Amino acid sequence: MTEKKIEDKITLSKIIGHFVTITHHRHLVRKNCFKMGLYWQGLVHDLSKYTPAEFLIGARCYQGTRSPNAREREIRGYSTSWLHHKGRNKHHFEYWIDFFKKNEYGDGIVPVPMPDKYVAEMMADRVAASMTYRGDAYDSWDSMKYYEREKEVLKHLVHPDTINKLEFFLTMIGEQGEDATFKYIKEIFLKGKDRGRWEKELEVQQNEQNRVI
């Protein structure tokens, strides 16, 4: 299969626009991570976006109102930049997908639970992405609205434990705002003070699945 050529031209204005956009996004993520005490993750977040494999495609497909990956997918049917990115950044659930043969899951793709510190970084990233592309129109429910559009697909690719935490924090952000949510994540979630909550939710889900089977 021949890879489709991207006809979009790369220009100086698009290079500058893409650089400013991803740098602004990193700045917002860094602020969010610092609020949760995730200093190193905030500093190194998304550095792969500056590598040639991601930056050149990003600049060529830059539009300013959405991720360049969306434009590349329209052309190729997939995004080479995203494939490079997701395998190097642990705050994306796609990083935590494995493949098993002949185990209790059967054959196929099996999602792995995301460690809590990367769940927290994922929240920082989703909020920052909404702020970056929504601009002055941003409101605290934007991240949840975006999640709702992809929910049906995610439930087959993301571990139930990760889904539970993602939905809980997206709802908290919508209802209570970013600062209150990041404070909860720092002082309670990342310290494991609410671990019993997640274990109970998983147990309930597993019991329901067993009854269906």
Q: What is the pLDDT of residues 202-212, one digit of tens each?
A: 777 776 666 65
**117 and 57 assigned to the same domain:** no
| Tokens linked to 192 | 């494991």
Residue 99 belongs to a domain: no
**81 and 122 assigned to the same domain:** no
Q: State the Cα–Cα distance between residues 41 and 18, nearest whole angstrom.
A: 22
pLDDT-above-70 percentage for the chain = 91
What is the per-residue pLDDT across 151-174, written as a single tens digit (0 to 9) for each? 988 888 899 999 999 999 999 999
Q: State the Cα–Cα distance between residues 128 and 31, nearest whole angstrom.
A: 9
What are the beta bridge partners of residue 109? 99
Residue 103 belongs to a domain: no
Q: State the Cα–Cα distance between residues 45 and 30, nearest whole angstrom.
A: 7
Q: State the Cα–Cα distance between residues 51 and 203, nearest whole angstrom.
A: 42
Q: How far apart are the first and last CA of the chain?
A: 41
* Total domains in the fold of the chain: 2
Residue 94 belongs to a domain: no
Find the helix or strand (DSSP H, E) in which 136 lies.
none
Residue 96 belongs to a domain: no
Residue 60 has pLDDT above 70, yes or no: yes
Residue 51 belongs to a domain: yes
Instruction: Out of 57, 89, 121, pick the residue that ends a domain.
Output: 89
**58 and 5 assigned to the same domain:** yes
- Whether the model clears a pTM of 0.85, i.e. scores above it, the answer is yes
**49 and 145 assigned to the same domain:** no
Residue 98 belongs to a domain: no
Q: Give the range of the structural domain holding residue 52, as residue numbers without chain letter.
A: 1-89
| Tokens linked to 209 | 């699945």
Instruction: Out of 89, 123, 154, pick the residue that ends a domain.
Output: 89
**114 and 212 assigned to the same domain:** yes
Residue 105 has pLDDT above 90, yes or no: no
Residue 159 belongs to a domain: yes
What is the per-residue pLDDT across 108-155, written as a single tens digit (0 to 9) for each? 788 999 999 999 999 999 999 999 999 999 999 999 999 999 998 888
